[in-house]
Amino acid sequence: MELLAETLEALDHVEVDYDGKMLQIFLPNGLEYLINFHGTTSQIWLASPVSGAHHFDYRAGNWHSTRQEISLNVLLAQELKDQLGHSVDI
């Protein structure tokens, strides 16, 4: 999560707030993403203003959605690209 926060902070026009538990991503168009680690289930939970709620399990070295076959990084990169109008490397 810390590495993801640092990567996102480097993006132009994106504000990031990370308190060690919850990561908030604020886009210039007013959309907000929330990402946190849910210790009870050992999952990362994402609240996306675009695609809704996702839970991610860690397997094969990456965080994979329980809803569809996509990783957290790929999903975020796709959605942020659509919202920001340029490719995002996460």
Residue 76, token pair as written in the block: 């975020």
pLDDT by residue for the chain (90 residues), tens digit each? Answer: 899 999 999 988 899 999 998 999 999 999 999 999 999 999 999 999 999 999 999 999 999 999 999 999 999 999 999 999 999 888
* pTM of the complete model: 0.91
CATH number, residue 71 = 3.30.920.10
- Note whether residue 89 is domain-resident: no
User: Can you give the pLDDT at residue 12?
Assistant: 85
User: Can you give the pLDDT at residue 73?
Assistant: 95
CA-based angle 42:46:50, to the nearest 5? 160
Q: CA–CA separation, 32 vs 47, rounded Å?
A: 9
What's the half-sphere exposure (Cβ side, CA atoms, 13 Å) at 59? 8
- Note whether residue 16 is domain-resident: yes
Q: How many domains does the chain have?
A: 1
Q: List the beta bridge partners of residue 55.
A: 45
- Note whether residue 39 is domain-resident: yes
Contact 3, 25 (CB under 8 A): no
User: Can you give the pLDDT at residue 57?
Assistant: 97
Range of the domain at 50: 2-84
